[in-house]
Structures are given as structure tokens and as C-alpha cells.
Amino acid sequence: MTAQDSKIRSRWWYLLPSFLGVIGGIISWVALKSFDRNLAKNCIVLGVILSVSEVALSLVLFIYSDNLNLITQFDSISETGDFGIKFKIDTP
């Protein structure tokens, strides 16, 4: 075992998947896989977990939020017919 093998890698690598999600996890995994496999695996797992939780939270907020009631706004526009776009259908 050489001095390079026993060197402990910095925990700052966890910031990359924290900010960039899966992409940051993959970058840190590629950079660390030959030096510290455990830290590399943890970084990619962290990136996946944070990305999945971000997508899930966004979907929950989009579906259940009263501030994002796009369907009711679209219905009120379609009832008045005030789209500002005219459709023309040519029939043969």
C-alpha cells in the first residue's frame, strides 16, 4: 500500500452531486472510482436520490398547488373564445 492509496479523499466531492444531481454524481464517480470506490459510489447514489426527490417534489407541487391551476385558467379562456388565434380548416 503506497502513500497515495491511503490518502483520504475530501468530502467536498459530495457538493458536486448536491448541486448537479445525476450529472454531478457521474462526474464525481468518474473522478473518484480509481481512488476511493466507496466515496464514488456514495456520490452517484446521492446524485440519483436528490434528482428523483427533486422531480417528485416538483410533480407534487405542480399537481396539488392552488397557485398553478392552469386547467381552470384554460377553461375560462376557452369559454370566452378569446384565444387570439384563428384556426382555418381546409376541406377538399
Q: Name, in order, each residue with C-beta under 8 angstroms of 51's C-beta and a sequence gap of 6 or more.
A: 21, 22
Cα 23 → chain centroid? 9
Alpha-carbon span 43 to 4, nearest angstrom = 21
pLDDT grade for 1, boundaries at 50, 70 and 90: very low
Please state the rounded mean pLDDT for residues 26-38.
92
Lowest mean pLDDT across 10-19, 29-38, 60-69, 81-90: 81-90
State pTM to two decimals.
Answer: 0.62
Sign of the Cα pseudo-torsion (75, 76, 81, 82, in order): negative
Span 39-89, pLDDT tens digits: 999 999 999 999 999 999 988 887 776 555 555 555 555 555 555 666 667
Instruction: Please count the CA atoms within 13 angstroms of the CA of 50 that sit on its side-chain side.
Output: 18
- Domain definitions of the chain by residue range: 12-78
